[in-house]
Amino acid sequence: MSGISRTRLKALILAGEVTIESRTIRDPGHRVNVGDEIVVSIPPDEPAVPQGEAIPLTVLHEDAELIVIDKPRGLVVHPAAGNRTGTLVNALIAHCGTSLSGIGGVKRPGIVHRLDKDTTGVMVVAKTDRTHQGLAAQFADHGRTGPLVRSYLAFVWGVPDRRKGTIDAPLGRHRQARDKMAVRLDGRAAITHWEVLETYLGTDGKPVASLITCRLETGRTHQIRVHLAHIGHPLLGDEVYGPGFRTKAALLPAAARDALEALGRQALHAHMLVFQHPVSGKTQKFDSALPRDLARLRQALAGGAAERRRTPGPNRNT
């Protein structure tokens, strides 16, 4: 097998591309015997440049410079290891053709910011390089000197001890689990502003969960998820940063337990995005209503009883 690295061979084994005596072997440490017949299937190389795929998009706005979409759950933003196809980038290439900014590189054309795979809501994508540069500058500034606002709706366990607050805690890679983020003194600055909108009572009559709005002043990976877990109020359904709260589901009304079990993801939605159009100079505002799964969860939680402080507005754009 000259010309193929040990790393590549290991990946082929893990992918089920190796058989011994017609039996698929997925353990790179499998011991072989004298006379074993080993067959290795080497699939053709994947194209370096993502290809367009007919994936439906919910378009909130589109012009010659940019496109604003309402991202569904389960959609990865750009190709990466384990997600070479079926991404938002593949969908955008099919929808926009060649009219996507190239600043992000061939695998991230037009991508200015990201949402986690299972986080829903509003995203803006640049179709020209000048718009990409203009949007990137606004996101880097995080609204300190301009109109940029990134606001999320989050269903969390428990109720904060005050109506609103700010989490200022630096974030970096988790020291043991490298696929996770964590609050670290040597991390990058991260600031999240939050406000309680509704609180929900459990079957014991005590507050068990709440709906809060989060506004980002920085944009770190998993920022809201880590910050809310850090203050003791992780997202409902977040198996990465809030697994210790799983037992609290027993305190939810039956309908809410069913809605949470059916959710199968973190209860987070990017409901509002405000930015200045880099070409026209006009302030653009886009809202996204809660998707069906989170709307069902909200209704079920409120069925137990809820205290409302302020209700997010309807779906609209300016």
Asked whether the CA dihedral 67, 273, 139, 78 is positive or negative, the reply is negative
Q: Which of 116, 238, 287, 293 is catalytic?
A: 116
Our answer to whether residue 258 is catalytic in this structure is no
- How far apart, in whole angstroms, are the C-alpha atoms of residue 94 and residue 115? 20
Q: Where in the sequence numbering do the catalytic residues fall? A: 116
